[in-house]
Amino acid sequence: MITELGHFALILAFVVAILQSTVPLIGAQRGWAGWMAVAMPAAAAQFWLIALAFAALTHAFVTSDFSLEVVWANSHTDKPMLYKLSGVWGNHEGSMLLWVLILALFGASAAWFGGQLPPRLKARVLAVQGMIGVAFLAFILFTSNPFARLPLAPFNGKDLNPLLQDPGLAFHPPFLYLGYVGLSMAFSFAVAALIEGRVDAAWARWVRPWTLAAWVFLTIGIALGSWWAYYELGWGGFWFWDPVENASFMPWLLAAALLHSAIVVEKREALKSWTILLAILAFGFSLIGTFLVRSGVITSVHAFANDPERGVFILMILCVFLGGSLTLFAARAGAMQAKGVFGMVSRESALVLNNILLAVSAFVVFIGTIWPLVAEMAWDRKLSVGAPFFNQAFTPFMIGLALVLPVGAILPWKRGQIGRTLRPLRGALVLALAAGCLAYAMGTGRSAIGPVGAALGTWLIAGAAADLWQRTGQKGRARWSRLTRLPRADWGKAVAHAGLGVTFVGISLLTAGQVEDIRVAQVGAPFDVGGYEIALDRVEAVQGPNYRSTRATLSIRRGGREVAVLHPEKRIYPVQAMPTTEADIDNGLFRDLYLVIGDEQEGGGWAVRTYVKPFANWIWAGAAIMALGGALSLSDRRYRVAAGARRATAVPAGAAPAE
C-alpha cells in the first residue's frame, strides 16, 4: 500500500514538474504575476511528493518488502540496518530517485530562500529547474521504476554487493549527487539569464553560493569514493583514471572554474558570457557523467546498469539540454555586455588563466575518457586509455595552475605589478624550494614528481598563509587581531587553496615514495619491507554477522619496537557467494602501512602483499580542507548575499560595489 502511494506520488511529482516548467515561463514572458507565482508552490510540491516517494522506497527497504524488485535484488533480512538504508541508493533505480529528490530539493530551496530574487528571474530559474525534473522523472518512470513489483514475492533477497556494504560508500553517492545536481542550479540560472538577456553582479551573487555548495559536495563525494577505493578494493590505489571517476572529476574541474569566474562577474562585471558558458558546461558534464556511468558504453571497473535503453534515454536528455542551452547561448551571448576593464597584470587576468587551465585540463580528461568510444566507432579498434596518458597530459596543467595560484590570489583587481605582488610571497618561495630540496634528498633516485610536488604543495600552503598575512595590513601588534576579524570568505579562500597544496604533497610523495612487496610469508618468519619488520603471527577462521572470514594477524616492528598489529582478512559473503579482500591499514601522519592477505600456499604459508605508502592520508585530508574552505566561504556568503541584495535595491542596478 505504502509502495503504491510512493509510486503515485512520483507520478504526481512528474505532473507538477510539467506544470512548473511551463506556466511560470509563459508568465515571465507575458508579465503575468499570477502565472509566475505558480513556480514557488510547484517547486515545493514537487519536492514533498518526491520526498514521499523516497520515504516509501526507504520503508520498503527497512521492512525488507521483497515483493519489490529493487529490494529483492539489493537487500537481505540479515543485512545491518545502515546498509538497508544505504541500499536505497545502492542500486540504479533508487539512486536515480535520490538524484531527482536532490534536484527537487535544490529547486525548492531556490523557491524558499530566493525572496530577494527578481520575480521574473526566479520564475524562469524554477521553470528550467522544473524541466530538468520532468526529464529525469520521465526517465525513472519509463525506464527504471523503483516501485516495480514482482509477481511472486520471494522469501529473501539477493543482498547488497558486499563491497558496497561500507560506511564510506554509504555516503559517497549522496554527496556526489548533491554536487552533480547542485550544478543544475547554476545551469538554471544561466539559462534564465540567457532568456532574460541580462547578467549583472546580483546574478553572480546568486549563482556563486549554489556553485560553491555543489563544489564542496563534489569534493567530499569524490574524496570519499577515492578513500573507499583505497582501503576497500585492496589494490592500494587512490585514483585509477577510470571513466566513472573521470565522470565526477570533469564537473569538479569545471565547477572550480565557474566558482572563480563568477567572482569576476560579481566584483567586476566582466567575463559574463564565459561564466554562462561554464555554468552550462559544468552541468552538461554532470549529465555526460551520468550517461557514461549508466549506459555502460565504456568498460569501467564500476559496472552499473548496462542497459542500452536507459543509455539512449539519458543521451536524449543530454542532447536536449546541452544542445538547447548552447543554441540559446549562441543566440543571446552577444547581449552580455561586459562593464569592467582590467589590465594585463591583474586579479581578473589571473582568474582568466585559472579558468583556461581548469577548462583545458577538463578537456584533456574528457578526451582521455571518450577516446575508447571514438576509436571503436571510427576505426573499430578496442582500446583503453591508461593512467600514463593522464599523467602526461593532465599533470602539466595542474603544475601550471599551482605555480600561478598563490601569485594570482594576491594580485590586486584592475591593475597590478608582478614585482610588488611577489614581495609578500618571498618567504613562501624559500619554504617551497626548501621542501623540494628536502624531498629530493630523502628520495634520491626516485621519480622527480616527489620533489616537484612537495615544492608546489608547500608553495600553495605557504602562499595561502602569506595571502592572509598581507591582508592584515602593515602594523605589528594589530595584525593578529585583524587576522581573526578577516571576513570568512578570505579565510575560506586561503584554507581551500592550502587544502589543494596538502593534496599536491600527498599525491606526489605517495607516487614517488611508495614501496610494494609481494611474497609468501611463513608463520614465525619475519621479513623486511621499507625498513619495517613484518611477522605473520597466525591465521584463523572468524565468523562475522553476514560473512565468514579468514583473518591473519601480522605484527610490524621498527628498530625492535612494535609499531602496529594488523588484521587483514579474506571474507566470504555466503548469500552472494562473494569473496572480498579486506586490507588492514595502520594510518599515520607521514605513512600508511597497508597489508593484504592472499592465497594459502600448498607448501604452507600465505601470500602477503605489503605497501608502505608515504603521506597517503594527506590526499584526503587536503580534500577535506578544501571542502572546509568552501564551507567557510559559504558561511560568509550567506549574510553577504542578503546584504548585497539590499544594497542592489538602494543603488541603481549595475553599480557594482568596488572592492
Binding-site ranges for other proteins (CB under 8 A): 161, 163, 233-235, 296, 299, 301-303, 306, 338, 341-342, 344, 352-353, 356-357, 360-361, 363-364, 367-368, 371, 381-393, 396-397, 518-520, 576-581, 596, 598-603, 607, 609
Q: How far is the CB of 296 from other proteins (least distance, A)?
A: 7
Which long-range CB contacts under 8 A does 31-37 form with residues at least 24 apart?
A: 31/120, 33/119, 35/123, 36/119, 36/120, 36/122, 36/123, 37/119, 37/123
- CB of 219 or CB of 511, closer to other proteins: 511
Side chain identity at 657, as an amino acid letter?
P
Q: How far is the CB of 469 from other proteins (least distance, A)?
A: 30
524: left (phi over 0), alpha (psi -120 to 50) or beta: left
Q: How far is the CB of 656 from other proteins (least distance, A)?
A: 15
The kind and range of the H/E element at 584 are strand 584-586
- CB of 83 or CB of 106, closer to other proteins: 83
Q: How far is the CB of 376 from other proteins (least distance, A)?
A: 10
- CB of 366 or CB of 620, closer to other proteins: 366
**CB–CB of 121/282 below 8 Å?**
no
Side chain identity at 337, as an amino acid letter?
Q
In a 13 Å sphere around the CA of 209, the CA atoms on its Cβ side amount to 20
| Residue 159 CB neighbour total at 10 angstroms | 22
- CB of 435 or CB of 521, closer to other proteins: 521
- CB of 233 or CB of 515, closer to other proteins: 233
- CB of 119 or CB of 296, closer to other proteins: 296
Instruction: Find the helix packing angle between 272-295 and 347-379, rounded to 10°.
Output: 30
Q: How far is the CB of 311 from other proteins (least distance, A)?
A: 12
31: left (phi over 0), alpha (psi -120 to 50) or beta: left
- CB of 486 or CB of 575, closer to other proteins: 575
Q: Is 80 helix (H, G, I), strand (E, B) or coil?
A: coil
Q: Which residues, other chains included, contact 226 with Cβ-Cβ below 8 Å and sequence gap of 6+?
A: 238, 239, 245, 619, 620, 623
* Backbone phi and psi for residue 607, each to the nearest 5 degrees, phi listed first: -75, 130
- CB of 302 or CB of 482, closer to other proteins: 302
- CB of 234 or CB of 416, closer to other proteins: 234
Q: How far is the CB of 637 from other proteins (least distance, A)?
A: 27
Q: How far is the CB of 280 from other proteins (least distance, A)?
A: 17
Q: Can you say how many angstroms the Cα of residue 543 is from the centroid of all Cα atoms in its chain?
A: 36
User: Rounded to an integer, what distance in angstroms lies between the CA atom of residue 250 and that of residue 359?
Assistant: 9
- CB of 389 or CB of 469, closer to other proteins: 389
Angle at 431 between CA 426 and CA 432, to 5 degrees: 95
Q: How far is the CB of 383 from other proteins (least distance, A)?
A: 5
User: Rounded to an integer, what distance in angstroms lies between the CA atom of residue 205 and that of residue 538?
Assistant: 61
User: Rounded to an integer, what distance in angstroms lies between the CA atom of residue 610 and that of residue 618?
Assistant: 20
Residue whose C-alpha is closest to residue 501's, from 621, 622, 613, 407: 622
- CB of 332 or CB of 637, closer to other proteins: 332
- CB of 529 or CB of 626, closer to other proteins: 529
- CB of 303 or CB of 643, closer to other proteins: 303
**CB–CB of 16/49 below 8 Å?**
yes
Q: Is 340 helix (H, G, I), strand (E, B) or coil?
A: coil
| Residue 153 CB neighbour total at 10 angstroms | 12
Q: How far is the CB of 237 from other proteins (least distance, A)?
A: 10
Report how far apart, in Å, the C-alpha atoms of 219 and of each of 249, 462, 624 are.
9, 22, 8
Q: How far is the CB of 303 from other proteins (least distance, A)?
A: 4
Residue whose C-alpha is closest to residue 73's, from 135, 9, 149, 18: 149
Q: How far is the CB of 192 from other proteins (least distance, A)?
A: 25
- CB of 312 or CB of 434, closer to other proteins: 312
Q: How far is the CB of 613 from other proteins (least distance, A)?
A: 16
- CB of 433 or CB of 607, closer to other proteins: 607
User: Rounded to an integer, what distance in angstroms lies between the CA atom of residue 553 and that of residue 194?
Assistant: 63
User: Rounded to an integer, what distance in angstroms lies between the CA atom of residue 505 and that of residue 490?
Assistant: 23
For the chain, how big is the Rg over CA atoms in Å?
Answer: 27
Q: How far is the CB of 487 from other proteins (least distance, A)?
A: 29
Q: Is 530 helix (H, G, I), strand (E, B) or coil?
A: coil
| Residue 520 CB neighbour total at 10 angstroms | 17
Q: How far is the CB of 341 from other proteins (least distance, A)?
A: 5
Q: How far is the CB of 476 from other proteins (least distance, A)?
A: 40
Q: How far is the CB of 642 from other proteins (least distance, A)?
A: 32
Residue whose C-alpha is closest to residue 143's, from 314, 310, 316: 310
- CB of 4 or CB of 516, closer to other proteins: 516
591-600, strands of its sheet edge to edge: 515-521, 606-614, 591-600, 584-586
